[in-house]
Chain A
Amino acid sequence: MGRMNGLVLSLGALGFGILYLPIIIMVIFSFNAGKLVSVWSGASLKWYAGLLENDQLLSAFGTSLLIAVWAATIATIFGICIALAFVRFGNFRSRLALSAIASAPLVMPEIVTGLSMLLLFISMESLFGWPSGRGVDTIIIAHATFGMCFAAVVIQARLRDFDMAIEEAAADLGATQPFIFLSITLPVIAPAVVAAWLLAFTLSFDDLVIASFVSGPGSSTLPIVIFSKVRLGVTPEINALATVMIVVVAASVIGASWAIRRRLSSRDQNQ
């Protein structure tokens, strides 16, 4: 097996290389003093300083943050509903309909989702006068819609592992369903709820295609601004912005997995 292991290791290492080399080079050149992105001309933080003075990027960042927080919150609440229905409610009448409509957005091409949402918003506006024009609210609705399907998948997995006997015992002792949900179910699935919220947040924060269709004047999100700049070429300023975003994500992912590991190992010790 030694020969095969060599092949496995070299292909695997190459795979990790493809994933990380572009990011590493970009991070390095974000500290480049010169404007050229492939010629090193001394270290500098000036592109990072430039970010703080770029009003367009800062306001797009604020818009994206606002949209992502709202979209993730709505998506998580509805995601909990979908997960509860699938895992706890057995065979209800509309189960097939819900399962089809809650899984289709997972595989729908973004470009189709974006176009069709826009067409719906326009025809709703001409029929009911709402939503009047497109902006932050329509992007939130669009992001919440596909976010809830991803959130449901994450929460469902956790809910399946959870012993129903505890909930049944509480019900037998006379607890009402909402009380059981808030005092037993929710605390147990809390890690999955947090993970689902973070996933929906990330999907919203990173989305370019759907937001491009359903955004209006004055509601440009960060990916929309980045995309319009990237089309003009590679700039050190975007390198700096991308580095900041990647460092934030990396710190959260590593921190979260470290916390989960510690939780798991302390649980093992208790048993």
Chain B
Amino acid sequence: MVRGMGKYLVNLPAVTGRRLVIALPLIWLAVFFFLPLVETLQVSFTSPRRGIPPYEPLWGIGDDGFFTNFTTGNYALLLQYWSDYFGPALNSIKLAFFSTLVCLLFAYPMAWWIARSNEKWRTILLVLVMLPFWTSSLLRIYALIGLLNPNGFINAAGLWLGLIDAPIQMMQTDFSIYMGMVLTYLPLMILPLYAVMVRLDADLLDAAADLGGSGVQIFRTIILPLTLPGIIAGSLLVFIPAVGEFVIPALLGGPDQLMMGKVLWTEFFRNRDWPVASAIAMLLLAILTVPIIYARYQDGRDAVAETPNPKQAEAG
């Protein structure tokens, strides 16, 4: 402790260096991450205009002194055209929720399989999970289109084998959205599940089986509670980005699969109504606040659990 204090006093350049190491990323993120969100909040309270930029300044100092263009009109618009904006919002939540469930349905057995394999197979299977994670999701979704199209591979194969008489409509349905979500987010669900399953003590399961526990019993009373942290972490990792997803509803969805990300994109790029697009962004953030704060709370608990006690570290 005293040694640490002494170092702090003697080594003044190190202290300024330390400040710099903290300040550089803090300032960068404040300017390029936090300020933009403040600016978006501001624009969501202005009105659109023809010109560059296509919105009125929220406030400023003109010839007549301080002026403001504050309006809640954009949010009123979202409420007024309820079905055009809140419909897609509810749709986003619904599609993201069921996508999370479908991912869990596949990821749980996959993670279990990987965790229970021998070391060689475990490496191979983990690489197989990581590989899609490192490749562009845009290209993987593109590849899925080639599979699901009316003249795509599945329909062509089905017709050729005589399993179907006419092409099945798979694109622009909820099914194509779920397939795209699974393709994109499955690795994010598998990895946290794998992390908890690999630490699960096999002796515990053997003991339960020796004592006559049935498969279902063992699963319900031992495996499920012990893997719950992985289920929660994986579900948040899938649900949060899935709600704001743009590429999947844009490429795989039809008019019935509108999601907020696509509505925001259309307002911004096609209608050039930037204030309404900003209001939609704020609505999206409001929806995600609860899961994001919950995810941070979970992270915080993990970090506390993982960080060694500083006192112990110093004593050792």
Question: Which residues of A are interface residues toward B (Cβ below 8 A)?
Answer: 1, 3-4, 7-9, 11-12, 14-16, 18-23, 25-26, 29, 36-39, 78-79, 81-82, 84-85, 89-90, 92, 94, 97-98, 100-105, 107, 109-113, 115-117, 119-120, 122-123, 126, 141-142, 145-146, 148-149, 152, 160, 164, 171-172, 176-178, 202, 205-206, 208-209, 212-213, 223, 226-227, 230-231, 234, 238-239, 242, 245-246, 249-250, 252-254, 257, 261
Contact = CB atoms under 8 A, between A and B. Distances in A.
B277 A115 contact: yes
A115 B264 contact: yes
Given A37-B152, A176-B11, 15 more contacts: A16-B110, A18-B183, A18-B186, A19-B186, A20-B132, A23-B140, A82-B25, A102-B29, A107-B240, A109-B244, A110-B244, A115-B281, A145-B33, A253-B127, A253-B134
A111 B131 contact: no
A90 B143 CA distance: 47
**5 nearest A-B residue pairs (beta carbon):** A109-B244, A116-B36, A15-B106, A22-B143, A120-B36
A226 B215 contact: no
B284 A109 contact: yes
A119 B43 contact: yes
A117 B268 CA distance: 14
B14 interface: yes
Main secondary structure on chain A at its contact with chain B? helix
Interface in B100-128: 105-110, 112-113, 123, 126-128
Contacts of A246: 135, 139
A162 to B, nearest CB: 12
A238 B146 CA distance: 11
A26 B32 contact: no
B246 interface: yes
Contacts of A250: 131, 135
A176 B147 CA distance: 59
Contact of B278 (A39, A98, A119): A119
B144 interface: yes
24 contacts: A4-B215, A15-B106, A18-B183, A19-B128, A23-B135, A25-B147, A29-B153, A38-B146, A38-B153, A85-B22, A85-B25, A101-B33, A105-B33, A111-B265, A111-B284, A116-B37, A149-B29, A160-B307, A177-B13, A230-B142, A230-B145, A250-B131, A253-B127, A253-B134
Interface stretch (B64-72, B226-234, B291-299): B291-299
Contact of B295 (A107, A110, A209): A107
Main secondary structure on chain B at its contact with chain A? helix
A226 B138 CA distance: 8
B254 interface: no
Contacts, number: 259
A25 B146 contact: yes
Contact of B281 (A7, A116, A234): A116
B29 A26 contact: no
Contacts of A149: 29
A18 B182 contact: yes
A152 B13 CA distance: 24
B244 A101 contact: no
B166 interface: no
A7 B142 contact: no
Contacts of B28: 78, 145, 148
B138 A23 contact: no
B156 A38 contact: yes
Interface in B21-40: 21-22, 24-26, 28-30, 32-37, 39-40
B299 to A, nearest CB: 7
B25 A148 contact: yes
Contacts of A116: 36-37, 39-40, 281
B43 A15 contact: no
A1 B35 contact: no
A249 B219 CA distance: 37
A248 B311 CA distance: 47
A88 B265 CA distance: 42
A177 B156 CA distance: 65
Contacts of A39: 156
Interface-centre pick from B17, B110, B145 (highest chain A CB count, 10 A): B110
Contacts of A21: 147
Nearest to A164: B313
B183 A22 contact: yes
Contact of B147 (A22, A208, A261): A22
Nearest to A198: B134
B256 to A, nearest CB: 19
B90 interface: no
Contacts of B295: 107
Contacts of A26: 142-143, 146
B268 A115 contact: yes
B26 A94 contact: yes
B7 A171 contact: yes
Nearest to B15: A177
Contacts of B196: none
A101 B138 contact: no
A92 B23 CA distance: 11
A206 B138 contact: yes
Contacts of B296: 100, 103
B179 interface: yes
B112 A115 contact: no
Contact of B112 (A8, A16, A213): A8
Contacts of B198: none
